[in-house]
Structure 1
Amino acid sequence: MFKQNVGSADRIVRAIVGLALIAMAIFGQGMAWGWIGLVPLATSVVSYCPAYSIFGLNTCGRKARH
């Protein structure tokens, strides 16, 4: 489908941030825009970030670039 462009450390950070934003939205600490946490969570699950493709970024290791 898409070539991976999100590395392991980046995936972990995205998942944590995404889950934290969603938790804030669920438990009332965050505003409704806390649901934007679905975006970093989804990009961490599929290891692909469309914004990275646009700007030519890649946080994967050398092996994943082949």
Structure 2
Amino acid sequence: MKANMGGIDKIIRIIIAVVIGYLYYSGSITGTLSVVLLAIAAVFLLTSIISFCPLYTLFGINTCKRKI
């Protein structure tokens, strides 16, 4: 896997995941919506950690500045 996510992109995804986690644990989101959003947050965290987004590959997007 070749890295295709830049630093800003990773930070934005982590912030979104943390906000979703906070909303879940504070009880602001419940039910099916909470499960779906937690799954999205988990995917955002995982893709941020490995610096690779499969959807970016499908659409030909690359926000990574360095050549790997």
Determine whether 1:48 maps to 2:52: yes
- Aligned runs of 1:17-56 on 2, under 5 Å? 17-31=16-30, 32=34, 33-35=36-38, 36-56=40-60
Identical columns (%) = 35
Amino acid corresponding to residue 65 of structure 1 in structure 2: K
Gaps of 5+ in 1: none
Q: Is the 8 A contact 1:24 1:34 kept in 2?
A: no
Structure 1 segments, 4+ long, off by >2 Å, are none
SS in 2 for 1:65: coil
* TM-score for both structures, normalised by structure 1: 0.83
Q: Distance in 1 between matches of 2:25 and 2:46?
A: 17
Q: Distance in 1 between matches of 2:27 and 2:55?
A: 29
State the partner residue of 1:3. Answer: 2
* TM-score for both structures, normalised by structure 2: 0.81
Q: Which has the higher contact order (CA 8 A, sep 6+)?
A: 2
Amino acid corresponding to residue 58 of structure 2 in structure 1: I
Q: How much does 1:12 deviate? A: 0.4
